[in-house]
C-alpha cells in the first residue's frame, strides 16, 4: 500500500514539508510506502471549466496536476499539505486540487484523505476546512488525528519545536496506516464498496 503526500507550499523543503515528513515517517513505520510530491511554484492556475479533461482523460494544462493524477491512480491514500495564506490554502494547492479533483477525482474515490496545514500563528482551521471539502465531496474517508492537523512555526526548526503539532502529524500517519489496513482487510473478506446513489442536480433558482 502507498500514500501520496502533496506539498502545496512554494518552498520545497519548508514548514509544510516538515509536517508531511513526520506523517510519512509514521506511515512508513506502519508498513505503508509514501511519496511526497512537491507541486512547485508555477502550478497554481485554476480550473478554466473548459471540459477538455472529460475527453482527454487529463487536464489540458500539462503540469503537476497530471503528474499527481497519475500517482493518484496508483496510491491508496492521499494527504494534502499547505501553508496558510490569508486563512486559506496556498494558491498552488488550491489551483492543483481544483483541477485534480475535476479531472481525476474518480481515481481517488473511497481512498482515505487528510489535510495538513502549517502557519506561523493563525488561519489554520479555516484552511483545514477548505481542504477537507475536497475529500468530502469525493466520497473519501477523512482521516483525523488527536487534534486538528496543523503545525506552527516560521521555519522547519520552529516546527520541530512544536511538540504537540509533531505528535499530531505522527498520530495522523498511524491512524491512516490503520485505516488503510482495515480497508484492505475488508476487501479481502468480501466487503463490497458502497452502493452508488444516482446523482441528482437540483438548482436553487428555477
Domain count, the chain: 1
| C-alpha of 127 from chain center | 12
pLDDT (tens digit, 9 = 90+) per residue, 97-110?
999 999 999 999 99
From residue 159, how far is each of 11, 22, 41, 117, 135 by CA, in Å? 14, 11, 22, 12, 26
Q: What range defines the domain where residue 80 resides?
A: 2-188
204 in any annotated domain: no
105 in any annotated domain: yes
pLDDT at position 164 is 98
132 in any annotated domain: yes
94 in any annotated domain: yes
Backbone angles phi, psi at 118, to 5 degrees: -130, 135
User: In terms of Cα–Cα distance, which of 50, 65, 158 is closest to 105?
Assistant: 65
Report the C-alpha gap between 94 and 81 in whole angstroms. 11
pLDDT at position 95 is 94
201 in any annotated domain: no
pLDDT (tens digit, 9 = 90+) per residue, 127-136?
999 999 999 9
The DSSP bridge pattern shows strands 150-152 and 113-119 to be: parallel
CATH number of the domain residue 32 falls in: 3.40.50.360
Indicate yes or no: pTM above 0.85.
Answer: yes
Residue with cell 509544510: 16
Cell of 182: 482495515
pLDDT (tens digit, 9 = 90+) per residue, 9-23?
999 999 999 999 999
Report the C-alpha gap between 7 and 79 in whole angstroms. 9
Question: Residue 201 pLDDT > 90, yes or no?
Answer: no
195 in any annotated domain: no
199 in any annotated domain: no
196 in any annotated domain: no
116 touches 81 (CB < 8 A): yes
The DSSP bridge pattern shows strands 88-89 and 77-85 to be: antiparallel
108 touches 78 (CB < 8 A): yes
pLDDT at position 205 is 80
pLDDT at position 31 is 98
pLDDT (tens digit, 9 = 90+) per residue, 16-68?
999 999 999 999 999 999 999 999 887 678 999 999 999 999 999 999 999 99
Amino acid at each position: 500500500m502507498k500514500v501520496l503526500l502533496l506539498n502545496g507550499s512554494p518552498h520545497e523543503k519548508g514548514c509544510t514539508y516538515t509536517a508531511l515528513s513526520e506523517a510519512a515517517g509514521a506511515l512508513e513505520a506502519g508498513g505503508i510506502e509514501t511519496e511526497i510530491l512537491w507541486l512547485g511554484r508555477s502550478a497554481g492556475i485554476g480550473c478554466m471549466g473548459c471540459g477538455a479533461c472529460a475527453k482527454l482523460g487529463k487536464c489540458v494544462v500539462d503540469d503537476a496536476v497530471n503528474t499527481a493524477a497519475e500517482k493518484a491512480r496508483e496510491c491508496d491514500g492521499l494527504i494534502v499539505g499547505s501553508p496558510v495564506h490569508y486563512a486559506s490554502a496556498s494558491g498552488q494547492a488550491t489551483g492543483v486540487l481544483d483541477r485534480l479533483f475535476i479531472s481525476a477525482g474518480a481515481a481517488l474515490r473511497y481512498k482515505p484523505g487528510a489535510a495538513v496545514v502549517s502557519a506561523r500563528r493563525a488561519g489554520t482551521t479555516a484552511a483545514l476546512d477548505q481542504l477537507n471539502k475536497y475529500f468530502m465531496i469525493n466520497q473519501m474517508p477523512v482521516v483525523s488525528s488527536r487534534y486538528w492537523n496543523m503545525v506552527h512555526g516560521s521555519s522547519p526548526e520552529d516546527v520541530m519545536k512544536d511538540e504537540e503539532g509533531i505528535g499530531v502529524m505522527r498520530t495522523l500517519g498511524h491512524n491512516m496506516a490503520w485505516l488503510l489496513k482495515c480497508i484492505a482487510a475488508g476487501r479481502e473478506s468480501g466487503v463490497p464498496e458502497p452502493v452508488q446513489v444516482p446523482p441528482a442536480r437540483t438548482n436553487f433558482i428555477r
